[in-house]
Structure 1
Amino acid sequence: MTRYLSIIFLTFISTLAYSQIVINEISYNPPESGQDSLEYIELYNLGSNAVDLSNFEFTSGINLTFDTGISIEAGGYLIVCESSDAMMNVFGVEGIVWDGGMSNGGEAIALKDAAGVLVDSLSYDDNAPWPSQADGTDGGGASIELCDSTSDNTLGANWRAATNDIGMIINGAIVLGTPGVANTVLCETQPNHIVNAAGLSFTPKDITIEIGETVRWENTSGNHNVNGGLDVYPNNPEGIFSGAPEAAPWIWDYTFNIPGIYNYQCDLHVGAG
């Protein structure tokens, strides 16, 4: 049986613009008993110029208006926190104290500039796709860190539980985090779509994706390959080829950056019906 999959791209121009100042690390439920003095939010300036934060304010999640003269240099970090003394004692970094506190179960955080224009906002959670207690955060000792400061920080999949051990244990939990310095977690490439290869078919057979998305083929049974080479399908925008047919299990990822319709086959089964 002949099987193929058509990939139809949606060509688009993104209108999203990410702020120069980003919420980059959050500690919302440190491993303390009683008051959580080690709650903090890290802001990062990913731009090439310093940013004056005078009269910027957090309007959701916590309450804080920055004093005149507060700024973040290019590539710099700024910590806002529950307790400046606790941050200095545990992490050796200074922090600006807020009013209120953070919810252990997740909530919205919003930062606006002096004119009331939204600078950055997100709604974190303590359940997947956000890092959870099972990952070592949410009371387990780890903050959560943006795995790539240029990625969309509103998506839980772009956050990871911190792994940097500062050499301190509180209530039996190792304290992990990087307030005031670069995050140490890395983003793992995750596919946007998964196609299963088993028997005589690819499932799903047809999908529509956007430019820049990654498709993963998973061979769970039998011998298969993915062959969309130009020698087989000359009308494909470019050739795709996983290699010769191989026995399960295997996975193969491909990121599509050229729009168009792509067809492919499994070489072993193309003439099966």
Structure 2
Amino acid sequence: MQTAVKFFCGIFVSLACATSAFAGDVIINEIMYHPASTNVLEEWFELYNAGSNAVNLSGWKITKGVAFTFPANTVLVAGGYLVVAADGPTFVGKHPGVANFVAGWSGTLGHSLELSDNTGQVVNAVEFYGEGDWAARVLGAGGVPGALDHYGGLGWEWSAPHDGAGSSLELINPALPNTYAHNWGPSASLNGTPGRANSIAATNVAPLIAGIAHTPVLPAPTDVVTVSARIVDEHTNGLTVTIDYRVDGAASFTTAPMFDDGAHGDGVAGDGIYGAILPAQPNGTIVEFYLQARDAENNLRTYPHYDRRGTRVPGGAE
């Protein structure tokens, strides 16, 4: 019986959302789902109207995560923010001076939110976490290079300040889909920025990398392997995408370009999915790989993401 060739790279997926008319301009923009106090009454999230028209939210509902119906005459102006808080008095005590909020949901925030309009159509939805694509990897043992964890190895840990360390989870660029984890990050401001622009907001970010896949999932020794990923950026021109791979134990990585030309396992040319075809490997081989995407403004993103406090282990295997 043949032993499959194994490929390792961290893969985490977020949900897509439906949009319609001006309602589609209303997006989930900031989330405080795990306050440092662990008091669930301090939970809140924020909506942002990215369009140029006011949107009447009367009768809209939060249909996943918590239960809440927006009261009559709730209007979100163009470019405006609206906080939805678990508890009004608690929110005022924590964020005095923030007046643009509604409050009083039932339940507690988990790891998903879904916003629906007054006809029941889903307007925006997002899943969020404190690990995977929603966090950075840092070396264990306090991020000290060379230090050993309790397993006797270097080890890696998830770093997510928005998950109980005092930050909120903020959308970076509202012009790009908020369904991609790489378009979110922990707030630079303690307790977040409810009711105003996000502290890490930017209009020119490194390309987002999502939907990483390799086929066949369990390749035989005679199989070449196609690695693909969706690349999202403010501009579709000037993108450079590469894959670095190595056989486990090799001293260095081999760099190969990825293409969106329809000829490298990437689907249809120009569809935003980039692909590369890696050579077949002998029986039982383990292959590590990581991806890099650079845009015309020289903004660079590496997948999996890592924190520069430690030494990078690009392949995603610990």
TM-score, with length taken from structure 2: 0.53
- Which residue of structure 2 aligns with residue 65 of structure 1? 69
- Which residue of structure 2 aligns with residue 208 of structure 1? 260
Mapped partners of 2:57, 2:68: distance in 1: 12
Structure 1 position 134, deviation (Å):
1.5
Question: Which has more radius of gyration?
Answer: 1
Structure 1 position 194, deviation (Å):
2.0
The answer to whether 1:176 aligns with 2:188 is no
Q: 1:189 to 1:212 in 2, by over 3 A?
A: farther
Describe the SS at the equivalent of 1:138.
Answer: coil
Tell me which of 83, 86, 90 is aligned to 1:86. Answer: 90
Do 2:242 and 2:293's aligned partners in 1 also have CA atoms closer than 8 Å? Answer: no
Structure 1 position 38, deviation (Å):
1.6
- Which residue of structure 2 aligns with residue 124 of structure 1? 128
Q: 1:134 to 1:206 in 2, by over 3 A?
A: closer
Amino acid at match of 2:107: G
Amino acid at match of 2:259: I
Do 2:169 and 2:184's aligned partners in 1 also have CA atoms closer than 8 Å? Answer: yes
The answer to whether 1:32 aligns with 2:37 is yes
Q: 1:207 to 1:32 in 2, by over 3 A?
A: same
Structure 1 position 149, deviation (Å):
1.3
- Which residue of structure 1 aligns with residue 234 of structure 2? none
- Which residue of structure 2 aligns with residue 100 of structure 1? 107
Coordinate RMSD, CA, aligned: 3.1
- Which residue of structure 2 aligns with residue 185 of structure 1? 200
Deviation sequence 1:36-79 (CA, Å, 0-9, x none): 22211100011111111110011110101111111111111111
4+ residue runs over 4 A deviation: 195-198, 209-215
- Which residue of structure 2 aligns with residue 155 of structure 1? 180
Structure 1 position 197, deviation (Å):
11
Deviation sequence 1:210-232 (CA, Å, 0-9, x none): 649699xxxxxxxxxxxxxxxxx
Do 2:260 and 2:273's aligned partners in 1 also have CA atoms closer than 8 Å? Answer: no
Mapped partners of 1:113, 1:50: distance in 2: 14
Q: 1:196 to 1:48 in 2, by over 3 A?
A: same
Describe the SS at the equivalent of 2:125.
Answer: strand
- The answer to which of 123-132 and 177-186 deviates more is 123-132
- Bigger relative contact order (CA 8 A; separation at least 6): 1
Structure 1 position 253, deviation (Å):
3.6
Q: 1:116 to 1:213 in 2, by over 3 A?
A: closer
Deviation sequence 1:168-208 (CA, Å, 0-9, x none): xxxxxxx331110001214541474324599xx96325633
Structure 1 position 125, deviation (Å):
1.6
Amino acid at match of 1:120: N
The percent identity for this pair of structures is: 28
Aligned residue pairs, count: 190
Describe the SS at the equivalent of 1:204.
Answer: strand
Q: 1:189 to 1:63 in 2, by over 3 A?
A: same
Structure 1 position 136, deviation (Å):
1.3
Describe the SS at the equivalent of 2:134.
Answer: coil
| Alignment map for 1:228-239 (pairs within 5 Å) | none
Q: 1:204 to 1:136 in 2, by over 3 A?
A: same
Describe the SS at the equivalent of 2:83.
Answer: strand
TM-score, with length taken from structure 1: 0.61
Mapped partners of 1:25, 1:252: distance in 2: 26
Unmatched tracts of structure 1, length 5 or more: 1-15, 165-174, 216-250, 257-273
